[in-house]
Amino acid sequence: MNTPEQRTDADLNAYVDGEMSERERAEMEVWLATHAEAAARVEAYRKQKEELHKLFDPIIDEPVPAVLSELIFQSRAAAPTSIGMRIVITLLLLITGAAGGWGLHGLQNSPQRTGLPNFVERAVGAHLVYASEVRHPVEVTADQEGHLVAWLSKRLGSPIQAPRLLSAGYQLIGGRLLEESSRPAAQFMYEDDRGRRLTVYVRAHAGGTTAFKFIGKDNVSAFYWMDAPFAYALTGDIPRQELLKVAHVVYEDLTP
Amino acid sequence: MDKKQAIIAEIPKLRRFARALASDPALGDDLVQDCLERALGRLHLWQKNTSMQAWLFTILRNIFVNQLRHAARRPREDPFDEHKDQSGGSAPMQGQRLMIHDLGQALDQLPEQQREVILLVGLEDFNYKDTAEILGVPIGTVMSRLSRGRETLRRLMDDGEHGGTPTLRRVK
């Protein structure tokens, strides 16, 4: 920091970018109040930042091109696939509590040491990968719903229905079989008339019933619950209240 | 698995940065694809407890710089850097009458080394220290490139406003 009478370009930029201590900031503000030319430059730099965001932020909301998400997905095939290796990796994850790679820790209150049930992470991960798919979002499309449901029920070991979400404005596009720690899981995908996609992830769950729990981060959030014989996660990038409404529809439709 | 989820979560921001850097959607996504391929191939090199985001941005930016070296698309060198390469590009304003309509066009006039700093700090919100690490330069260099770049942008935009036609967009 220079004397109160002198400020450099670097000072103006550090001020704009929040790279100053509280005290430096306060001193800068006093100084700027009497130096109109510098204050105008600070304002211009701020507007540049705003304009950058206006120009490029819409890209954040674009669906990720299939070719990019497929890359990540395909690279799984190159990972160790033997059951033995998977068990080792799963154990390591449990022991080190290393699951939760994209920072969901602390966003919810589950007492589990990994911070989040495995199936929720898997559900959100699968949502991120497949909901952005343009060409192959599902393995079996909704026009073969009978086949889809029979197939997934068989693999999951209990009869499962694709929840009907039309009353919430979401139409089934289809589903796919996934694996979670070498066990089968199912994903149903839905789309509304604006092209927004939700996924319902289902896997076998032996005991116990829980209330809805919520996790949210940046552009994706999920409600999840357990209701034997299944555990469910509803994932989407719509506002929490809207997602909760859909979660209730899913719950009611699946509960006899 | 968790590393891959961390990568997936960064894709939207990588695409934003790549498109701004390459000023072209297709080139931008090609960059992201190259970056992801390289990152997945070197996942063992990523160090736990370091920022996955900064690591990916470093890879992407390095791929871009390497491609630029081959293509020589726009002046790469910052003409005011010390140790300036004699063959470096010319300063953007010299003797040119430029019609600048928006910040995107003004950005295209900047030397690459100033543009990347402006994007990392101003768009991606990296602090100066992380920006310096991503670019592999001292913090002082980050600050001087940022200062010059922003000042050049400001003058370009001012010219657009005062010297242009009434249809020019005002930057708010």
Domain spans of chain A, in order of start: 9-60, 63-254
DSSP A114: T
Task: Give me the residue spans of the domains in chain B.
Answer: 2-71, 76-172
What percent of chain A shows pLDDT beyond 90? 44
Cβ of residue B163 closer than 8 Å to a chain A Cβ: no
Q: Helix (H, G, I), strand (E, B), or coil: what is residue A57?
A: coil
DSSP letter at A112 equals S
Per-residue pLDDT band for B51 (boundaries 50, 70, 90) equals confident
Q: What's the CA angle centered on A119, arms A115 and A121, to 5 degrees?
A: 60
B103 and chain A in contact, CB less than 8 A: yes
pLDDT tens-digit map of A204-230: 988 778 888 888 876 788 999 988 889
Distance from CA of B77 to the nearest CA of A (A): 20
Amino acid in the structure at residue B106: A
Q: How many CB pairs under 8 A join A and B?
A: 130
Q: Which residue of B has its CA nearest to A79?
A: B1
3-state SS assignment for residue A188: strand
- Euclidean distance between CA atoms A191 and A171, whole angstroms: 5
Which run of H or of E encompasses A178?
strand A171-180
Order of strands across the sheet with A197-204? A140-141, A171-180, A183-191, A197-204, A230-236, A220-227, A213-217
Residues of chain B contacting A55 with CB distance shorter than 8 Å: 20, 102-104
Tokens 């003058």 label which residue? Answer: B155
pLDDT confidence of residue A100: 38
Q: Confirm whether the ipTM is greater than 0.90.
A: no
Q: Give the C-alpha distances (Å, rounded to integers) separating A241 from A73, A216, A226.
A: 31, 12, 20
pLDDT for position B79: 52
Looking at the complex, does the CB of residue B138 fall below 8 Å from at least one CB of chain A?
no
Contact A65 B13 (CB under 8 A): no
Other C-beta atoms closer than 10 Å to the C-beta of A174 total: 21
- CB of B155 within 8 Å of a chain A CB? The answer is no
**What is the CATH code of the structural domain delimited by A63-254?**
3.30.200.100
Which class would CATH give B76-172? mainly alpha
On whether any CB of chain B is under 8 Å from the CB of A182, the answer is no
Domain B2-71 annotated CATH 1.10.510.10: no
Q: Show which of residues 127-166 on chain A sit within 8 Å of chain B, judged by CB atoms.
A: 128-129
Residue A161 tokens read as: 């229905």
If residue A216 lies in a helix (H) or strand (E), which one and from where to where?
Answer: strand A213-217
Q: How confident is the model at residue A186 (pLDDT cuts 50, 70, 90)?
A: very high
Does residue A48 belong to the interface with chain B, where contact is any CB pair within 8 Å? yes
Q: What is the mean pLDDT of chain B?
A: 79
Name which of A155, A248, A145 is nearest A204 in CA terms. Answer: A155
Q: Which helix (H) or strand (E) holds A38?
A: helix A36-56
